[in-house]
Amino acid sequence: MDSPITLGPTWRRGEDNRFIVPRFSLGWHIADWARLKLQHENGDPWHFTAEQLRFTLWWYAVELVECEWRFVYRDGILQRLKGWGKDPVGAAYSAVEFVGPCRPGEDMHKVELIEQLGLEIPVMQPLGVSHPSAWVQIAAVSKDQTRNTMTLFPAMFPKATIAEYGIDLGKEIIYADHGARRIEAVTSSPRALEGGRATFVIRNETHHWIEANEGHEMDRVISRNATKSKGGSARVLSITNAYDPAEDSVAQRAREAYDEIASGQSEATGILYDSLEAPASAKLTLDEIPEVVTAIRGDSVWLDVERIKQEVLDPRNPPSQSRRFWYNQITATEDAWLAGYEWDACERRDLEVVDGDEVVMFFDGSKSDDATALVGCRMSDGHLFKLGIWERPAHAPKTWLVPRDDVDATVRAAFDRFKVIALWGDPGTGEDESGERYWDASLDEWGADFGKRLLVWAVPGGDARHPVLWDMRGGDSRRVEAFTLAAMRTYTDVMERTLTHDGDKRLRRHVVNARRRPNRWGVSIGKEGRESRKKIDGAVCAVGARMLRRYVLGSKPWQTRRRGGGGRVIVLD
């Protein structure tokens, strides 16, 4: 089995293969406090597993900003398979935020050795202090969801801790310090939540937070409340299973936001995403299920692998649900072209494209609303690689336009670096101030400057002959047919693992956004909806680049050259 997919700093290792931990963290003090003040339901002193401890250290990582300790992360998402222990960990953090050392103090202490990690910490670590007016919320869209966490507290607080902090246990509200601190379950309407001064919030099971149950608005209100907290010290942690992409949940939007950050599309900071997922190649078979589940359950050894295997094999359970709940994989919607894990299985970063490689390129243009993309495909092996994707930045004004100079520079740099033997480009429909299509002039310039170097032309003959212009909206059904057949071929190549790509995160996002669009020639790809914010232009270019490579391989100029017929460029008739 391939290695599990990991997201987040919890899984990073150093040169000595030991896990990396943050330089400064309240997590060391919190782990020690939890051992002394909390307990498991069987009465044993509370302890985090090694995996949970690493996440704790990162979630409570701090840094000095202008001589003041501040948390590195303001928002967190913990995604794990069902039964991993997200609710108990969330309850433990809530208990810490309720009466424990949850905020950086002025004192320091030295951590000599943590046996669970086998790491010596050579620097002093900050000691935490409690929040005198802690207000902890366990938020969910139903009482049943909050109950999963709230019912853990009576057994989690030993009698000595209850007496020390004056804890008054209730079913929906827990008080301490004569009512100065509280933990409460929150399932009310977003309007009722507006203006709250919570110091810490657990978003519970955010894969269930959708538009229909006001989950999105609850999420926005909670974020606003945390932002206006004193010194920005309030934080929010989501715990979730893998989401269903068909539901547009809060969990889905959080993952997509993280992907945008990881791909450089967003400049947001302070978000901690942590997940351990089955690899793309994982199968739902009798022999492979135990190995996969054992790998992705992490330290949660209490999960019964044999029972999970029987659950997965039960024909009443759809494979998509088994992958979501037990493999922690985000599966595709019913009309999705490709699932993320299917595309991920074709990633080959070791197949680096180098200077002088013979390549073809496909361009898909837009003016402002859609993305503009340029993807290359190496002739020798069909390896796909992203050259550029330009999208409207999150906070850009409405007047923002795709920077044609940047795109032009990228195209010309590619011609300088590689041996580009074909470039086709779809100009899109946007117009510039002169009334001309936004990309027509650029396509004409590329054709004039590089046409003699191209082995095949986009429009080879007639009055409309053009080296680069390949307009899919020009009324030529042959191009729609060709692209549809290419989309189906690309899909098959992914399924058969005969396609490889560079693993670019932004290109991946566009591929996952693409939807199946049947037509009279087969199944093409398209956007989720005309006004959808989910762009697919990179996917269009990936299909187009693979299509162009196959076209070149079957062309007369290519065959002539391979037979030793000389290096003369021939324009196809």
DSSP character string of 236-292: EEEEE----TTS--HHHHHHHHHHHHHTTS-----EEEEEEE--TT---STTTHHHH
pLDDT value of residue 572? 33
d(CA 148, CA 203): 12
Give the separation between CA 277 and CA 326, rounded to whole angstroms. 9
Q: Are strands 200-204 and 235-240 parallel, antiparallel or unpaired?
A: parallel
Q: What is the full DSSP assignment across 390-434? A: E---TT--TT----HHHHHHHHHHHHHHSEEEEEEEE--S-B-TT
Which residues in the chain land under pLDDT 50?
113, 566-573
Predicted TM-score (pTM) above 0.75 = no
Closest listed residue to residue 342, CA positions, set 487, 483, 499:
499
Is the CA virtual torsion 552, 410, 427, 534 positive or negative? positive
Give the list of residues 6+ apart from residue 28 with CB closer than 8 angstroms, or none: 57, 111, 114, 121, 125
Helix (H, G, I), strand (E, B) or coil at 83: coil
| Separation CA 83–CA 421 (nearest Å) | 53
Query: Rounded to 5, what percent of the chain is helix, strand, coil?
Result: 35, 20, 45
For the chain, the straight-line distance linking the first and the last C-alpha, in angstroms and rounded, comes to 49
Q: Beta-carbon neighbour count of residue 448 at 10 Å? A: 11
Pairing type for strands 200-204 and 135-139 reads parallel
Report the Cα 397 to chain-centroid distance in Å: 25
3-state secondary structure of 297: coil
Give whole-number Cα distances, 535 to 198, 252, 528, in Å.
36, 16, 9
Domains along the chain? 5-326 (3.40.50.300), 344-562 (3.30.420.240)
Residue for token pair 């190995």: 291
Read off the amino acid at residue 443: L
Type and span of the H or E element at 87: helix 86-99
C-alpha 50/C-alpha 491 separation (Å) is 40
Residue 568, pLDDT score: 38
Q: What are phi and psi of 446, to 5 degrees?
A: -60, -40
